Amino acid sequence: MKLSDKIFNAGVVGAGGAGFPAHVKANSKVEYVIANGAECEPLLHKDFELTRNFAERVVRGMELMVNETGAQIGYIGIKDKNYPAIEEVEKYLEDKNLEVVHLQDYYPAGDEYELVYNATGRLIPPHGIPLDVGCVVNNVETLYNISLAEEGVPVTDKFICVTGAVNNPSTFFVPVGTTFEDAIKFAGGTTVDDFGIFIGGLMMGTLTDNVTEAITKTTGALIILPKEHHLVTRMDRPVADMNRIGKSACDQCSYCTEFCPRYLMGYEVQPHKVMRSLEFSKTGYAVWNEFADLCSSCGLCTLYSCPEELYPREACEQGKSYMHANGKKHEQKKEVKIHPIKDGRKVPVKQLMKKLNVAKYNVPTPYTEGFPEPSQVKILLKQHVGVHAKAIVSVGDSVQKGDLIGKIEEGKLGAPVHASISGKVTHVSEEFIRITKV
């Protein structure tokens, strides 16, 4: 069986958060395969722990991808500060067509556009993907899962980092479908009664206070912060309020643009202009929203650059929605060219943590074994880019860990889902399947 078929059958998707079905990348022909182990979100050490503890599997996943795609070489991007992971990886590189790319500790070093540029010197065209410049990029955990898929093992567990206001910040595997509550409990419980949970990261993640939510194949982290923490109150604000404040307080200083990573790479993103669409005038939405279309939503403008603490990222997100809803796409005519000041404007993650007022939570999150099997799991049928998987089990069925429980219609983009624990199916809907331990 082809590797891409094995990857599809195992339900492997981009584990870094994107959730793109991994078999599609394995099916392409490229010059370079790049492993993304950059992990630039503050406080997270998941990719570091995975790479350090399972370097052989990550390297095996890379080797498989390089062979399958016909690539000349594979680059493994890891930050220099994570040297123990580099040392582990290097143990397995002998005689292989693989190299470590040493990255600096700035945000957002893990953005695919940045990573491809750092590894190959190539700039992805506007609206493009790494494939446009002969590359595929996979998160290190996706590569770990690919190495298992090759042995016929499906994705049933997710590696997550639980940190912030918890007693034992740590990194561990949980069955897909585990509740946030169970994961937080394994990290020693929270140190505060009232808290917000950032899912995936402080910069690009989402905020919730619902501990009954389920971990999916793309949930990389749960960061707990006290409810009164400035970041929680800032990100909890309704969009209408964000817009109202932006409209009244933006002085067009343009710091948001001057520090924008995409702008500094030469893409026509200018959040200060997008702010003008917040009813600065009754005309011009179409003009100003053009400058949002190539934004990556990295969050730097909202959470770091803007001295007024406004919401340019959120304005860009609305701008992108406006463009999409009106069938518009910004066509960049200018050549993409690195801004001469780019290196001087890199934002060190340490500096970013200070600004976010989370430096005190920047502690190691050691890999911890022994997560107890939950009494039940809620497995979503859409944890990936593409169509929903269709349940192939019914209430009352007995399933074993690893059994296929949700299938993708032939010819459609998506990834099948598997039982993450053994037990009885106690709920089936279009959205999710619940399995209860017996």
Contact call for residues 151 and 1 (beta carbons, < 8 A): no
Binding mask 295-334 for ligand SF4 (x = CB under 6 A): xxxxxxx---xx-x-x-xx--x------------------
- How many residues in the shown chain lie near ligand SF4 by CB under 6 A? 28
- Shorter beta-carbon distance to ligand SF4: residue 108 or 220: 108
Q: From the CB of 186, what's the least distance to ligand SF4, in Å?
A: 33
Confirm or reject binding of residue 271 to ligand SF4 (CB under 6 A): yes
Confirm or reject binding of residue 280 to ligand SF4 (CB under 6 A): no
The strand ranges marked E within 361-422 are 376-380, 390-391, 398-399, 404-407, 417-418
Rounded Cα gap, residues 387 and 165, in angstroms? 36
Six-digit token string for 393: 């089990």
Q: Which of 252, 321, 326, 398 binds ligand SF4 (CB under 6 A)?
A: 252
Confirm or reject binding of residue 345 to ligand SF4 (CB under 6 A): no
Considering only CA atoms, which of 401, 356, 364, 437 is closest in space to residue 187?
364
Q: From the CB of 207, what's the least distance to ligand SF4, in Å?
A: 16
Confirm or reject binding of residue 272 to ligand SF4 (CB under 6 A): yes
Q: On the CB side of 398, how many CA atoms lie within 13 Å of its CA?
A: 1
Considering only CA atoms, which of 215, 50, 63, 31 is closest in space to residue 130?
31
- Shorter beta-carbon distance to ligand SF4: residue 26 or 235: 235
Rounded Cα gap, residues 35 and 56, in angstroms? 13
Q: Which of 100, 222, 269, 347 binds ligand SF4 (CB under 6 A)?
A: 269
Q: From the CB of 297, what's the least distance to ligand SF4, in Å?
A: 5
Confirm or reject binding of residue 223 to ligand SF4 (CB under 6 A): no
CA terminus-to-terminus distance, the chain? 35
Query: Using N-to-C axis directions, what is the helix angle for 55-69 and 83-90, rounded to 10°?
Result: 60
Residues of this chain that interact with ligand SF4 (CB under 6 A) are 250-256, 260-262, 269, 271-272, 275, 295-301, 305-306, 308, 310, 312-313, 316
